[in-house]
Amino acid sequence: MKKIGLKFIFIALALFITSCSTAPTSDVSESEINAEAAKAYAEIKAKSKISQNAQWNAMVQRVAQRIAKASGENFKWEYVLIESPEVNAWCMPGGKIAVYTGIMPVLKTEGALAAVLGHEVAHATLRHGMKGYARAKQNNYWGLIAAGASVIGGQLLCKTDQCRKLSQLGGVAAGFAITFLDRKFSRADESLADHMGQIYMARAGYDPHEAIQLWDRMSASKSGASAPEWMSTHPSDQNRKSQLTSWLPKAEQIYESAPQHYGVGSSIR
């Protein structure tokens, strides 16, 4: 019985993957995507362990709020600090932010957290990845997910660990992980998010140098062959750092004219 079920799911997924590669993209409204994201986010929060670290929670709150404000985007912002060793953080469409406790010690400073959130929020404000989501939606992938295939589907379809872990939650969260969070953005999109993220953090009152320091800290946190989660979707390279360095004079100007100055903020320990 179980075997037949698995076989069915496997065939359904194979069909999905085939149809996915040929079907045209459709227009899925942003409000529709944001509504799905909000559902997935609520599910992720309900099924995850929320951090009880008062100091870190307060830091995530204030940094996320400042970055959100600096973005000028009228999203229904939400923030959560999830208790998990994963070195990761993300922002869903519509401004649903998650930070995993595992990333905090790697960042070392509040300013580096501002750099990460600036970058992730920029992906959301620049509407990166919408096409892929629209395609998955048009292919009625949600139907497949509702049929309970998401947990296994995640193991088969996910390319990133981030997706695999979230897909274990099942339901809408898994669907969203597979259709939206399982992505490595293009180099061009990553570059835009780096640029915009550095501007957001500067406008929010954090020293934009921290966006450069961040990459050294991430690289240093590699233990053996295993790179931190965030690094697997954001490979560090010299080009990335030199671009951030070349944008620094402009970012510094923005920082200077920011209404508040927090520098690198508090240390994270």
CA atoms within a 13 Å half-sphere pointing along the CA-CB vector of 203? 17
Cα separation, 143 vs 140, whole angstroms? 5
The rounded distance, in Å, linking the Cα atoms of 20 and 24 is 8
Nearer to Zn ion by Cβ, of 193 and 212: the residue is 193
Shortest Cβ distance from residue 230 to Zn ion (Å)?
9
Residues between 189 and 218 with contacts to Zn ion, criterion CB under 5 A: 190, 193
Of 63 and 193, nearer to Zn ion (C-beta) is 193
Catalytic status, residue 120 = yes
Rounded to a whole number of angstroms, the minimum distance from the CB of residue 234 to Zn ion is: 5
Q: CB of residue 119 vs Zn ion: minimum separation in angstroms?
A: 6
Task: From the candidates 36, 43, 120, 190, give the one annotated as an active-site residue.
Answer: 120
Q: Which long-range contacts (CB under 8 A, 24 or more apart) does 224-231 make?
A: 228/87, 228/88, 228/102, 228/103, 228/106, 229/86, 229/87, 229/88, 229/100, 229/102, 229/161, 229/162, 230/87, 230/88, 230/89, 230/103, 230/116, 231/87
Of 230 and 262, which CB lies nearer to Zn ion in the complex structure?
A: 230
Q: In the stretch 141-180, what mask flags binding to Zn ion with x, by CB under 5 A?
A: ----------------------------------------
Q: Which two tokens stand for residue 51?
A: 């951090």
- Residues marked active site are found at 120
Binding site for Zn ion (CB under 5 A): 190, 193
